[in-house]
A and B are shown apart, each in its own frame.
Chain A
Amino acid sequence: GAVVSQHPSRVICKSGTSVKIECRSLDFQATTMFWYRQFPKQSLMLMATSNEGSKATYEQGVEKDKFLINHASLTLSTLTVTSAHPEDSSFYICSAKLGDTQYFGPGTRLTVL
């Protein structure tokens, strides 16, 4: 139980394009999902908290107009990186909250050329 999927697992895009990443809780409903960014050999950096049916809460320093989050259902949250640039290249990981626990997706490796 408590499985979270992410799609795609890897994406390569050109600078200036937008990329959408999906996060799904497969066997439970999640009112709250989280989006993290992880640089090589570093810890998880929380970008935003996604609440079903309401606006996401962004961490300080994270541009909400650049990283668009939509949580339209209890099993799906999406992160759209708009006008991507090479500095946005990173490993993006989502998690879904069940009770106290966060269950993580497998991550999405984004490379912006």
Chain B
Amino acid sequence: GENVEQHPSTLSVQEGDSAVIKCTYSDSASNYFPWYKQELGKGPQLIIDIRSNVGEKKDQRIAVTLNKTAKHFSLHITETQPEDSAVYFCAASGDNDMRFGAGTRLTVKP
């Protein structure tokens, strides 16, 4: 089955700096890669996703890149703000269930 690894587990950046979170997956059949943001006490919210036919996708300050050959994908947040502080989960899915990474706790210091 699919195995998703996520790094780092914690990340602290200064407001305005960029943050990068990386994930690797094991199943070459996976073709859909969403990213979720979870604030304390709330459910995860989809922030961006990418499919295997695309190498990069951007939405304002958030971008995701995918390298299918290496089986890794990354989340990039530019010009970070304190409200970006949360736990971020990557996920990978194909024909089977979606599998999640362990999460990255991002702290943006004002």
Interface on A for B, CB 8 Å cutoff? 4, 6, 34, 41-44, 46, 49, 93, 95, 100-107, 109
Which of B43, B91, B97, B103 gathers most chain A CB within 10 Å? Answer: B43
B93 close to A44 (CB less than 8 A): no
User: Are B93 and A103 in contact, CB atoms less than 8 angstroms apart?
Assistant: no
- Does A107 lie within 8 Å of B46, measured CB to CB? no
Provide 11 A-B residue pairs closer than 8 Å at the C-beta atoms, listed in order of the A residue.
A34-B97, A42-B102, A42-B103, A43-B103, A44-B44, A44-B100, A46-B97, A95-B43, A101-B34, A102-B34, A107-B43
Q: In the complex, are the beta carbons of A104 and B44 less than 8 A apart?
A: yes
Question: Which of chain B's residues have a CB closer than 8 A to the CB of A107?
Answer: 41-43
Complex interface bits, B71-110 against A, C-beta within 8 A gives 1, otherwise 0: 0000000000000000001010100011011110100000
Q: How far is the CB of B40 from chain A (nearest CB, A)?
A: 10
List the A residue with the shortest CB-CB distance to B87: A41
Q: Are B32 and A103 in contact (CB under 8 A)?
A: no
> What 0/1 readout, one digit per residue, does chain B (47-63) give for beta carbons within 8 Å of chain A?
00101000000000000
User: Smallest CB–CB gap between B63 and chain A, Å?
Assistant: 18
Taking a contact as CB atoms under 8 Å apart, the answer to whether A100 and B43 are in contact is: no
Cβ of B25 within 8 Å of any chain A Cβ, yes or no, is no
Listed in ascending order, the chain B residues whose CB lies under 8 Å from chain A are 32, 34, 36, 41-46, 49, 51, 89, 91, 93, 97-98, 100-103, 105
Q: How far is the CB of B74 from chain A (nearest CB, A)?
A: 18
Per CB-CB distance, the 7 closest pairs between chain A and chain B, nearest first, are A104-B43, A100-B32, A107-B43, A106-B43, A104-B44, A43-B102, A93-B43
Q: Are A100 and B89 in contact (CB under 8 A)?
A: no
Closest CB in chain A relative to B47 CB, distance in Å: 12
Contact for B45 among A41, A49, A100, A104, CB less than 8 A = A104
- Complexed CA–CA distance, A43 and B23 (Å): 14
User: With a CB–CB cut-off of 8 A, which chain B residues contact A42?
Assistant: 102-103
A6 and B101 within 8 A (CB): no
